[in-house]
Chains A and B, each alone.
Chain A
Amino acid sequence: MITIDGVTKIRGRTRILHEVSFTARPGRVTGFLGPNGAGKTSTLRVLLGLDRPQAGTALIDGRRYADHDRPLTVAGALLDGSGAHRSRSARAHLRWVAASNGLPRARVEEVLDLVGLSADAGKRAGRFSLGMGRRLGLATALLGDPPVLILDEPVNGLDPAGIRWMRTFLRDSAATGRTVLLSSHLMGELAETADDVVIIDRGRVVAAGTLAEVVGEHATLEDAFLDRTASEGVSW
């Protein structure tokens, strides 16, 4: 369970997040939708303790991410890129991450197999394609077999087969009771994957609810999204 309550983040002179509040519940995929620069990544970074908010709280199972012992067993995160130093092999990267949280070494081979990277595990991360880097990032997120997954634009850089694989994986994860929070600017993708939707625009949550509630009387999620975020008019 993810609870974000009144998070405000100011960077320099810009207010990036205005009292952002929403929840993501176990057993459901929550889609966090918004145009580029709306504050999706900033919200996820606050949730993971990477950035400090000026106000508000972001909790995972009632506690801040950083207050959990062995946090990788509580939540797994996929942010930009693979997260691995270029000169390290995928396996070497996963091994140090596993060591940091006291996870068994055998788990490294399991997650490599799970994301389909076993054959390339000895390759340096700097030589990975964008899609392989995302898989390595996901493998890292899954190391601790966490009940909560936090993913920023997970299908970015994946080929069609990879996108389908990711969609199935996330649906299966929710079906086994995991809390899945994923951000995206791709509405079609989210409409296929999410149970709940939160729409953020210019740092404010403008809609939140089940997919059906958010779509409402609009024909598609895309229509609902554009209706709520295009308040300043479309310039193209």
Chain B
Amino acid sequence: MVSLVRAELRKLLGLRTAWVGMVAGLVAAPALVFVNAPATRRALADGTWGDPSDLGFQSLGIGLLGAMILGVVAVSSEYTSTGEDSPDGRQLITTLTAAPRRHRLLAAKGAALTLVVAVQGTLTAVATLGLVEMVHGAAIPSPAPARVAGAVLYWVLLGLLAYAITLIFRNGVVTLTVLIVNSSMVSVSYLLTKVTPLAAYLPDIVGAHMFLRDVGDVRIAPVTAGLVMTAWVAALLGLAAWLFQRRDA
């Protein structure tokens, strides 16, 4: 099992797209702090900014792209064709001949992904929160360690969510479209909360309650939010594993 995790780490970190995701996430979140600084300062001064303790954590949002991209490419890279002259050639064939026990393979891949995303999430959180403190200083309270941990956990769960969805569809485009459109452009999940408060429990937005106070109109306790999101991710991973085991490669 250890050798499988090592192989999966090597595979993931050997992909250019994985690095693009990690670096983009790591750079984008702190950069947004700078870009938004003047507007944020005004909002804090006239009291229109909500809970000031959310500020640093709100800025983390864009960095989550990194976690999603990692979750997607860990799987989509297995399914891309190795070349025009070999239509059935995919890395997955090599992967499954090297590790034919599929549940173990998925566990090893998930472990490697979790490690990388946790490191990327921690680095982004530390950099972004540090920067927010530098820029806005006394206007906001210091971030509580429990909330930082909640944010990193959200990161990891979102990476695993992207991993599960990509395994189910065997295609990264579907996952990226669903997750990125939903998280950055038009949040279907958020719009649904206007229809029914239950939509606040959808996997992508419920997790935000782990580290943010003001999310939509519904208040969910951080631990409840963490448990609900974990349950979603576990269920989707279970479905993905069941399909992966049954399908022909």
Contact = CB atoms under 8 A, between A and B. Distances in A.
Interface of A: 11, 41, 45, 48-52, 65-66, 71-72, 77, 79-88, 92-93, 95-97, 99-102, 125-126, 128, 130, 133, 140, 157
B94 A86 contact: no
Contacts of B11: 85, 96
Contact of A87 (B15, B99, B246): B15
A95 B98 CA distance: 12
Interface stretch (B81-89, B139-147, B209-217, B229-237): B81-89
13 contacts: A65-B97, A66-B101, A71-B98, A77-B97, A80-B88, A81-B86, A85-B15, A87-B15, A96-B10, A99-B3, A130-B85, A133-B83, A133-B86
B3 A133 contact: no
Contact of A45 (B14, B101, B248): B248
B7 A97 contact: yes
A83 B4 contact: no
B224 interface: no
A11 B14 CA distance: 35
Given A71-B97, A81-B81, 19 more contacts: A48-B100, A49-B100, A50-B93, A66-B101, A72-B97, A79-B88, A80-B87, A80-B89, A83-B90, A83-B94, A85-B80, A85-B91, A86-B83, A87-B15, A88-B14, A88-B15, A96-B7, A128-B83, A133-B85
Contacts of B246: 52
A71 B249 contact: no
A82 B82 CA distance: 7
Contact of B94 (A51, A66, A84, A128): A84
Contacts of B82: 81-86, 125-126, 133
Contacts of B15: 85, 87-88
A50 B98 contact: no
Contact of B3 (A50, A65, A83, A102): A102
Contacts of B77: 85
B173 interface: no
B240 to A, nearest CB: 18
B6 interface: yes
Contacts of B98: 71-72, 97, 100-101
A48 B95 CA distance: 12
Nearest to A95: B10
A52 B101 CA distance: 13
A50 B86 contact: no
B97 to A, nearest CB: 5
Contacts of A140: 94
Nearest to B14: A92
Contact of B96 (A49, A101, A157): A49
Nearest to A124: B16
Interface in B75-126: 77, 80-83, 85-91, 93-94, 96-101
A52 B88 contact: no
Nearest to A126: B83
A53 B89 CA distance: 21
Given A81-B86, A81-B89, A101 B248 contact: no
Among B16, B81, B85, B91: residue with most chain A CB under 10 A: B91
Contacts of A85: 11, 15, 77, 80, 82, 91
A50 B91 contact: no
Contacts of A66: 100-101
Contacts of A82: 82-83, 86, 89
Contacts of B14: 88, 92, 96
Among B7, B91, B97: residue with most chain A CB under 10 A: B97
